[in-house]
Amino acid sequence: MNVIVVLNESSGRKIKASVLALASISFLSVLLIDPLTGYTHEPITTNVRFNREIIRIFERSCLACHSAGRIKADIPLNTYDVARPWAKAIKEEVLEKRMPPYQVVKGFGSFHRDYGLSQRDVDLIVSWVEGGAPKGDDKDLPGRAETSSGWALGAPDLILQPASETKIPRDGDTTLCLLLPTDLKKDRWMSGLEFRPGNSAVVHSASVSLLRGASSRPNAGPRRDAGCNTGGSGSTSDELGTWVPGQVSIRFPDGVARLLPAGSRVELKIHYHSNGEVTSDRSAIGFYFAGEEPVRQVKALTLAAPLTSVPVAVESFRVKSSYVLPGAAEAIGLRPILFPFAKSVEATAYRPDGTAEVLVWAKNRRLDWEPIYYFRRPVELPKGTRIEVVAYLDNSAENPNNPHDPPRAVQFAEPLCDLFLTQSVDLR
């Protein structure tokens, strides 16, 4: 046996390969190893290429988190060289539907975006990985549009932003709530909303709420608790919008807007995922106003479970909430709320003519990933339609999100779903 020692110039590592002499034929068996990533070269058995198909899937569904300066910069996917070592892990994540974060089950409700991958995208990723994860030709890469420092919907009519930067700790997850007065001198109609993270490396998700109630509280700085009502005792909040990476802005259909009363206050709730360094953030909200009074206005309807005792160790406990619409309306979006005990949440519209339509079915809770899902087309809901929301709770030790260890019996009366309706008259 002869031994050949090859020195890789870029890394300085030595790779040994054995040379076997078989009769009059010499056979060289060499295991090729990429000096940078350490993965073995596999035979290419697929026509799918990273530079042609896969990078475009990643751009649509992954790079808002998995690229430099973003919340998951430690697992970058924006180039072949950095994505290739993660190929098999990517396949497992998409097949198990852990990534991108899934909530809504396909086939129940039709939305502008459900944040999941289409079956075609999943099939392409699996084919790419199982076929050797080839790179492809650089000429097939998508063109890179110039990034803009401006707002996606243009200059907002009103920008709300904390007066100073908020310090984010080095470790762990943090939820902060900030009270932002609008200082509006008269009622305005909001036709769009956009959230801009100040520090995309740590901002994980956000929600914007309109505070209602006569009581007030000086803006003494951010509050660090998950419930957060910065408006003070007696105030209530209505959801205006949510943000998760990959969601840029919210624009209502033509003729639809939401009322922002004069002097109203807004609560900005941000969930931060620390990146190992003490850092800071100063995110902003942009509001867009309708040019004239709208034909239809948006109303937020929250359906919550009645106070219920949930026994300990029960893996599937059913709770329900319902509401009968006093007038005809259209549903433009909803937000299923997957609290720690929830296994699933399903909202159904039962119309007076006897027809029923599942508006959404959501499961697979992920921490602070509860976006508003907007329907592709408004859903017509005649007067007398009953909206029913059913949730199944898991109060057992098998629930990884259970806040109690060991589990214990709990009193439950939480919101199950926010429904966003448009109507020309007040629902309440």
Domain ranges of the chain: 1-31, 50-140, 158-294, 298-423
Given a contact cutoff of 8 angstroms between Cβ atoms, the answer to whether 396 and 343 are in contact is no
CB 298 within 8 A of CB 423: no
Confidence at residue 370, expressed as pLDDT on a 0 to 100 scale: 78
The CA-atom distances, in angstroms, between 312 and each of 65, 213, 225, 306, 354 are 37, 37, 26, 18, 37
Residues 6+ apart with CB under 8 A from 407: 312, 313, 395, 396, 397, 399
Of residues 183 and 69, the one with the higher pLDDT is: 183
Pairing of strands 2-7, 173-181: unpaired
Confidence of residue 424 (pLDDT cuts 50, 70, 90): confident
Phi/psi of residue 307, nearest 5 degrees: -60, 120
Q: β-strands 265-273, 188-196: how paired?
A: unpaired
Please state, in angstroms and rounded to a whole number, the distance separating the CA atoms of residues 154 and 255: 19
Q: What is the CATH number of domain 158-294?
A: 2.60.120.310
Mean pLDDT of 397-421: 91
User: Residue 18 — very low, low, confident or very high, per pLDDT cuts 50/70/90?
Assistant: very low
CB crowding 309-329: b at 16 or more within 10 Å, else e: ebeeebeebebebeeebeeeb
CATH architecture entry for 298-423: Sandwich (2.60)
pLDDT of residue 71: 84
Please give the average per-residue pLDDT across 90-112, as a whole number. Answer: 87
pLDDT tens by residue, 92-102: 999 988 888 77
Q: Name beta bridge partners: 379.
A: 331
- Sequence-distant (6+) residues with CB within 8 A of 257 are 189, 190, 191, 289, 290, 294, 297, 298
Q: What H or E segment, with its residue span, contains residue 310?
A: strand 308-310
Average confidence (pLDDT) over 245-264: 87
- Out of 171-175, 266-270, 394-398, which region has the weakest mean confidence (pLDDT)? 171-175
Provide the residue type at 198 as one letter: G
What local confidence, expressed as pLDDT, does residue 106 receive? 84
Q: What is the pLDDT of residues 335-386, one digit of tens each?
A: 998 888 888 999 999 999 999 999 999 987 765 677 888 999 999 999 999 9
Q: Measuring CA to CA, which residue among 381, 226, 395, 404 is closest to residue 319?
A: 395
Q: Are 299 and 422 in contact (CB under 8 A)?
A: yes
What is the rounded average pLDDT of the residues 124-150?
A: 83
**DSSP state at residue 154:** S
Share of the chain above pLDDT 70, in %: 82
419 or 69, greater pLDDT: 419
Same fold flag, 158-294 and 298-423: yes
Greatest mean pLDDT among 37-51, 115-129, 139-153, 205-219 lies in: 115-129
Higher pLDDT, 216 or 276: 276
Question: What are the C-alpha distances in Å from 417 to residues 146, 171, 237, 252, 345?
Answer: 38, 31, 14, 20, 8
pLDDT at 396: 94
Inform me whether the pLDDT recorded for 182 exceeds 50: yes
CB of 31 closer than 8 Å to CB of 56: no
Average pLDDT across the chain, whole number: 82
pLDDT in tens, 33-85: 333 333 456 788 999 999 999 999 999 889 888 988 888 888 999 999 999 99
Q: Give the pLDDT of residue 221.
A: 54
Could you report how far apart the first and last alpha carbons of the chain are, in Å?
Answer: 88
pLDDT above 70: residue 216: no
Residue 132 or residue 426, greater confidence: 132
Span 291-301, mean pLDDT? 88
Of 37-51, 275-289, 319-333, the range with the lowest mean pLDDT is: 37-51
Q: Is the pLDDT of residue 157 over 90?
A: yes
Residue corresponding to tokens 């105030």: 235
